[in-house]
Structure 1
Amino acid sequence: MSNFADLPTMLSMQIAHVSFRQLQAVQQHFGSLQTALESPQADWQRGELLSEAQLAILFADDLQARLDEALAWGEENNQAWLLLGDKEYPQSLTEISEAPIVLGVRGNIELLSDPQIAIVGSRHASRLGVETAKDFAKHLSSQGLAITSGLALGIDTAAHKGALEGVGKTVAVVATGLDRIYPASNQKLGHQIAEEGAMISEFPLGTKPLNYNFPRRNRIISGLSLGTLVVEAALKSGSLITARTALEQGREVFAVPGSIHNPLAKGCHQLIKQGAKLVESGQDVLEELSSNLQSTLNLFAEQSTVEKKSASAVNTQSQSKLLEWIGYDAIGLDELVVLSKMPVSSLQGELMLLELSGEVEALSAARWRRIR
């Protein structure tokens, strides 16, 4: 349960576009959010807690109807609302400034807490840029990482498609309400992501694709992820906003270099000059993140027991066991699941660690083989 209030109360705040800081101020002023919603509009105005536009929404005649619609939406199969403070709310987002107070989710909620890499770039990407983004996403996904992006045209679309060809799946963070998919040309892809991965939004149902919402959602893309990879970006690209928020959040930033004559490479080159890691392959990304992935995947590998063994001991034991089943001939992930009886997410994590340590290598079609 949220640390602030119940679902209807928090959804009311979301519908009025109340931010985390505003929510804290409202709670402090009124003592509780329930008390706040029972208070007359004049009390809100005297406190100067919200804008006039926000108050107009909060005290509009149709608020209850919008609230009922949102509650009904959350009861549908494969759809849910997550409140800040819920145990399923991704821990990585609680660490950023202005964490979303409510997240709508279509798809697999558990995926939001898996290790993620953001891949972003130009909406008007070149053919080479699209192929590069898809290759990076497919490789990183084949290692068990979830690929996070914004469902925009160009690089975002390529990243989602590449991820769906791997095993780590994909998360789409959208700047509209989850009752619509934007752009319309990504309708089929959006439905596939909702079925096989997850689509999330902090915006109320009915929110249209407004320009100022896209930069705002970028902090969620980077906030969910261990690092952000920019594939192609012009100097004024919105992808550079995502890279900046990643840096502000203490996350890694990677950039793929390109031709000095390509305007879509200039944003990436600027990032590299400013300290972003130049990467040429998915393996470069994995190597840069190896220490972060080790600690993150250790947490996924821990079992909830009264007395937990140390993560390193658990990982060492499970990795040694896996090596008994992985030979020099390729073996598929499905077969390893049957042999090891491990959850897929834990198995993928252990395989990634074994690859990082040079014990095994990943092949196409989610297959693995031992190399030493």
Structure 2
Amino acid sequence: MTLGESLSLARFCFRFRRRLESQPVHCRTAGSGVSDRRLGIRRDKHDLLEERGSVDSQLIATLRLALVSGVGPRTRQALLSRFGDSATVLAASLSELREVDGVGAKLAESIRRASEEVDVESQLAICREQNVRIVTDADDDYPRLLREIHDPPAVLFVRGGLQPSDAMSIAIVGTRHATHYGLRQAERLASGLSRAGLTIVSGLARGVDAAAHRGALEASGRTLALLGSGVLNVYPPEHDELARAVISNGALLSETPPMHPPKSGSFPQRNRLITGISLGVIVIEASMRSGALISARLAMEQGREVFALPGRVDSRASTGCHRLIRDGARLIESVDDVLEELGPLVEAAPTDTGQVVHHPAELKLNEQEQAVLSAIGSETPIIDEVIVLSRLPTQRVLATLSVLEMRRLVRRLPGNRVTRI
């Protein structure tokens, strides 16, 4: 099966599944797989912490299980299916644990001893001192789109803030060795998509990632950086200032503990979060060996849209993008190309003020534009009715309708009528 056929099948399956899903999403597989730290913390110390009620006991259990080496997404799913929750998993006997698919004697022993040997207290202390939030897949503000992937993390460490509007997000990825063309295009697209109301997601790496974050920041938009290291151990170190700007206008996120060092194995795992938290991924400059192509394949497997920006035909930096386009990725040249494709995938999402929006561009409306859009509602009124309901002068309504039409939020119909798109 070619990448193009796989993309089509993945999109169909993803959209069909979303139509069927009318029940709340339940917690699914997770687990960071980071190493446990055998520091000899006595269990009674942890028990005292829980009895004080200073931290939710289920959060402690979730964090403990996530920090056990060898408990990956599939294993955690199997454990939770068998025992119900993390606390019950940790209290299970060795024989009970070994009955679970994928749990051998060594892993069962690690899980059984986690309450004594996994240093949860120090991680909680670091998070409190450094203002790092711990968000679990049981929390309301856990990113909605991440719940849809087959291996969401049990825990996210967050510096900055998450907002409901971040559900309208697009990832921009590409080579670390970007050309001037690639950097300029990444900033241009990130800036334009940010002005249209989308949150820009990337990995804070050198090259295209950094340009995407900067483009969003220049447009005063929101941006999220998914890290392969801990959120208190920014990599590369020269991006520390950029990371602080991201925190002020979005968030740094990682499934690894705050001080976790950057390791090569962490970055492929991180890539699934970049694509998983986004409606789609834009690939800008990627050679045939680029990790951005791995992100594109992950996006395809997750049912996300895959976009590719073409480059010069003789540029090795764009060979991967051209291959993606040949295999079925959407060729894009402008912000409008992306918005046209994302429109049908965007579900109603509330802003931080509670306002519900149906299109990313609605996040950037002024009061006048909001009034006209509200007057149109879900019907197809004649323009005279919009003028009356909006309580704005005729010429102002007509001018505003033109702006909304250019932003692909409304469409004029025969009979002097108008409708929302």
- TM normalised by structure 2 equals 0.69
> Which string of whole-angstrom CA distances, capped at 9 and with x for unpartnered residues, describes residues 96-148 of structure 1?
11111111111112167430010000011111111110111011111111000
Within the candidate set 197, 207, 214, 1:154 is matched to 207
CA contact 1:12–1:58 (8 Å) conserved in 2: no
Bigger radius of gyration, 1 or 2? 2
- Tell me how far 1:16 sits from its aligned partner: 1.7
For the 8 Å contact 1:137–1:147, the answer to whether it is kept is yes
Distance 2:208 2:134 in 1: 28
Q: Deviations 1:256-293 (Å, cap 9, x if unpaired)?
A: 10112111110000000011111111222112222234
* CA apart distance, 1:178: 1.7
Q: Distance in 2 between matches of 1:118 and 1:358?
A: 26
Q: Does 1:109 align with 2:162?
A: yes
Q: For the structure 1 residues 68 and 93, does the alpha-carbon distance in structure 2 shift closer, same or farther, using more than 3 Å as the test?
A: same
Quick one: distance in 2 between partners of 1:214 and 1:180?
A: 14
Task: From 204, 207, 210, give the equivalent of 2:263.
Answer: 210
Q: 2:68 aligns with which of 8, 13, 16?
A: 16
Deviations 1:294-313 (A, max 9, x none): xx2x33379979xx9x9999
- Matched residue count: 332
Question: In structure 2, do the counterparts of structure 1 residues 61 and 19 end up closer, same or farther at CA, with 3 Å as the change threshold?
Answer: closer
Contact 1:111–1:197 (CA under 8 A) maintained in structure 2: no
1:59 and 2:113 aligned: yes
- 1:300 corresponds to which of 311, 331, 350: 350
2:314 corresponds, among 261, 280, 290, to 261
Structure 1 distance, partners of 2:300, 2:89, is 36
Q: Distance in 2 between matches of 1:277 and 1:322?
A: 42
Q: Percent identity?
A: 36
CA separation of 1:185/1:44 partners in 2, compared to 1, >3 Å: closer, same or farther? same
**5 Å matches for 1:1-372?**
6-17=58-69, 18-30=71-83, 32-39=85-92, 44=97, 47=100, 49-50=102-103, 52=106, 56=110, 59=113, 63-64=117-118, 66-76=119-129, 78-110=131-163, 113-293=166-346, 296=347, 298-300=348-350, 316-317=373-374, 321=390, 355-357=407-409
What SS does structure 2 have at the residue aligned with 1:207?
coil
Letter in 2 for 1:300: P
Report the more deviating stretch, 93-102 or 153-162: 93-102
User: Which amino acid letter does the alignment assign opposite residue 6 of structure 1?
Assistant: Q
Query: Aligned equivalents of 1:94 and 1:325: distance in 2?
Result: 46
Secondary structure of 1:109's counterpart equals: coil
Task: Please give the alpha-carbon distance, in whole angstroms, between the structure 2 residues aligned to 1:53 and 1:93.
Answer: 27
**What is the Cα deviation at residue 358 of structure 1?**
6.5
Q: Cα RMSD over matched residues?
A: 3.7
